[in-house]
Amino acid sequence: MRGLLRWLDDFPGETWQQRWCSTPAHSLGEQWEEEARTRLAGHGIAAPRGVLKAGLLWLVCADVLRPSVEWLSMIVQSRYWRPAMATYRDPEGFAQMNAAADHQGISEKCKHRALNQIAIILGAKGGKVTDIAVGDCLELREIETRTRTQRGSSRGHFYSLLQQMGHFPADAPPALRHLGVFAGQASPQQLVDRYALESGPVRDLIVDYLTERQPALDYNSLEQLSRALALNFWKNIETHHPSASSLRLPSDVIADWKSRLQFKTSRERQPDGSIREVTTPRIAYIDLLTYVRSFYLDITQWATEDPARWGAWAAPCPINVAEISGKKRNARRKARMDQRTRERLPNMATLAQIAFQRRVEAQARLTALRNASPGETFTVLGETYIKGGNEHRPAAGNAFDFAIDSAGRLRKLALAENRAFWAWASVEVLRHTGARVEEMLEISHQSITQYVTPGTGEPVPLLHIAPSKTDQERLLVVDLELVDVLATIVVRVREGTGAIPLVAAYDPHERIWNPPMPILFQWRSAGQNRAVTRTLIRTALNELLRASGFTDVTGQYLQFQPHDFRRVFTTEAILSGMPPHIVQLILGHKTLDTTMGYNTVYPQEVIDGHRAFIARRRQLRPSEEYRTPTDEEWEEFLGHFERRKMAIGVCGRAYGTDCQHEHACLKCPLLRVDPAERPRLEEIRSNVIARLAEAEREGWLGEVEKQRIYLAAAEDKLAQLDERARRATTIHLGMPSFPDIAGRTAVLPKRTT
């Protein structure tokens, strides 16, 4: 310290801090000590290497010097700063930080990184841990991002630890990620100013236009519109025609712009490292023309309502209807989507089985890994691994959830199990509901609902789909397979208290963070509960498809996008006889045309006939049907659900439909067998076998055929029970029943006259 103070004495300033700020240390970075040792040597003072750094450490701990955050973020890399600050600056605060990190299950490496970041803030700002403000954390995060001194998802642990200790106000963001890349929405002015338009009046016009359209658009649509008008339209125009200052553009200028817009140029890196510009046709060409045409037409329309504001900019639209006709493009896109569905529909059941098997195998590997000691060799599923880590070093949380396989490759089995589980869960939820991927990721504990019939008290499981693209809420009746999937997810994400953690999810359409909710698609990463993202879902699906070995007509690996499940669901529902307008309600489409665009193999004449029938029925339907049902009609409606109970299960026939099998329930696919009635079903099968043997002995050929049909139906029902039992064995023993996982229960109130 004496040597360091002697070096500082050569610089101007009334305090040691002022003299420190006058030194060239901030520009020299890690080379500051060499410069100080050289200067001290000129005064006849010998300073061994590392001594001045130690002196700086103690002066910072004593709050004599406060280097900048940026300088300390580059210097504080040794193991001495953290324990020194913890010992001499704030022992109690660092002890609380350690306890909070252990409570979250953060690994030792991540915890040391977080404590180093706290030491940097205290060294630069002074005070104790309780004095750290949100702004201090944001400043450090910005510097680390700019200088790349810290990378990875765990660099924000120090903030979460401080928040867990209650040092921040209630309105502080739950994570630094909420203020970083996903910081929120930009204003129309900020969206337009990204492109530095030269013409100020046109810039103001586009800003005013976006401001008018903003209430009716989500943020993603607004951002796309701003890019189309400011960059693809006007910036392109004024780059090649700098004198342009009005929307009334000459025909040759518009023609040149359309010609340029049809192609886009991108830069690609070649195998030799060089960069080459590649020109390709622009896929969104018609969409961009549509944006510009709407821009012109809206201003013309608004000019008749508010001439003072918009009249000066009204001009003939340079894009006609024929140019934006997408009939041929839509037909090609429909053909591509139909081909995708035809390739994927036959593989859907097999894909679900492979996803389930991969999940079971990944769980078995992870269980065997966690039962082994660090450095121990273990074998699971015929594969040999060596658990990572050192038995002499304690593991915090799941720090040793990796292994080395027989080929010497590092295998992160915990991460593999996580992806295998969510791939299975995604496949099951998407193929049973037809929901969009963003709707699936927003399913919460409160979305699981059960309707209880008043007479029998039988629960009918329902799933509430929150509005996403069309803002249309809907309730879906879910089958028992999906109930098992949701129950498994609930068991996985529940904490030790039995409650589902509240997690804030990012809305990519509105570019905002939703309030914390008990969403089901969440996972624990580096000690934090985070929402499962679409990126993780796509990564997990790609790994699943590579493992499945499915290929397309070209021999390439078959790719599944989450939206493919929605198209397959639509096609299967219509093929099974569900009316298209009911499928429309399930999918949440605004028009039936959109629903039929998702269908692949439904005959056009049937579609036209159904539409004609609906139109004719609406014209002929008497107005008396639009009335409040009577008590008798209401009781008859409720009685349908009460009469669903059969001898060996429950009938899944919809209300108002006749029994197509004349109550031959054993061979009916709508019969849901109760597992408790398995002995009765086995008795029925034995009776059928005996009657079949009698018919064969007596030569009753018609009876033989009849009994064989019944025997096949009984065998199928028993196979269904075996499959459900097999699925149940893979779930934790503490799996709750559906009433336990349902977020809420709806009981229909008694009707009053």
pLDDT band at 469, cuts 50/70/90? low
Average pLDDT over residues 580-600: 83
Which tens digit of pLDDT belongs to each residue from 121-175? 888 888 888 888 888 888 888 888 777 655 555 567 788 788 777 778 877 777 7
Which tens digit of pLDDT belongs to each residue from 362-376? 999 999 998 888 888
Q: How far apart are CA 437 and CA 541, in angstroms?
A: 12
Higher pLDDT, 618 or 33: 33
Please write down the long-range contacts of 469-478, taking CB distance under 8 Å and 24 or more positions apart: 469/436, 469/438, 469/509, 469/588, 470/588, 470/589, 470/590, 472/588, 472/590, 474/585, 474/586, 474/588, 475/449, 476/433, 476/586, 478/432, 478/433
pLDDT of residue 190: 92
- For the ranges 71-75, 118-122, 354-358, the lowest mean pLDDT is seen at 71-75
- DSSP annotation of 230 reads I
Average pLDDT over residues 193-214: 93
Residue 64's SS3 state is: coil
Which tens digit of pLDDT belongs to each residue from 75-123? 766 678 888 888 888 888 888 888 877 776 677 777 888 888 888 888 8
pLDDT of 552 > 80? The answer is: no
Identify which of 382, 343, 363 has the alpha carbon closest to the alpha carbon of residue 545. Answer: 343
Higher pLDDT, 252 or 611: 252
Q: DSSP per residue over 301-347, as a string?
A: HHHHH-HHHHGGG----S--GGGG--HHHHHHHHHHHHHHHHHHGGG
Strand pairing report for 448-452 and 744-747: parallel
Cβ atoms of 730 and 435 within 8 Å: the answer is no
pLDDT of residue 739: 64
Average pLDDT over residues 578-583: 83
pLDDT of residue 430: 92
- For the ranges 141-145, 329-333, 597-601, the lowest mean pLDDT is seen at 597-601
CB atoms under 10 Å from CB of 465, counted, come to 22
Burial class (CB in 10 A: 0-12, 13-18, 19+), 152: exposed
Of 156-170, 250-264, 550-564, where does the model show the most confidence? 250-264
Q: How far apart are CA 386 and CA 376, in angstroms?
A: 6
Q: List the chain domain ranges.
A: 2-172, 188-325, 632-746
736: alpha, beta or left? (left if phi > 0; alpha if psi -120 to 50): beta
pLDDT of residue 392: 41
Which tens digit of pLDDT belongs to each residue from 494-523? 876 678 888 888 887 777 888 888 999 998
The secondary structure element, H or E, covering residue 364 is helix 348-371
Higher pLDDT, 2 or 205: 205
pLDDT band at 753, cuts 50/70/90? very low
Higher pLDDT, 470 or 6: 6
pLDDT of residue 342: 82
Per-residue H/E/C for 507-549: ECCCCEECCCECECCEEEECCEEEECCHHHHHHHHHHHHHHHC
Which tens digit of pLDDT belongs to each residue from 683-710? 989 998 999 999 999 989 888 888 888 8
Query: Percent of the chain at pLDDT above 70?
Result: 86
Query: Percent of the chain at pLDDT above 90?
Result: 19
List phi, psi (to 5°) of 531. -75, 140
pLDDT of 324 > 90? The answer is: no
For the chain, the C-alpha Rg in angstroms (whole number) is: 34
Identify which of 563, 561, 534, 558 has the alpha carbon closest to the alpha carbon of residue 546. Answer: 558
Q: How far apart are CA 298 and CA 315, in angstroms?
A: 11
Tokens coding 386: 């060596």
Residue with tokens 């997990």: 540
Q: How far apart are CA 241 and CA 245, in angstroms?
A: 9
Identify which of 348, 349, 352 has the alpha carbon closest to the alpha carbon of residue 340. Answer: 348
Cβ atoms of 413 and 405 within 8 Å: the answer is no
pLDDT band at 42, cuts 50/70/90? confident
pLDDT band at 395, cuts 50/70/90? very low
Tokens coding 164: 């867990």
Mean pLDDT of the chain: 82
Tokens coding 179: 């203020």
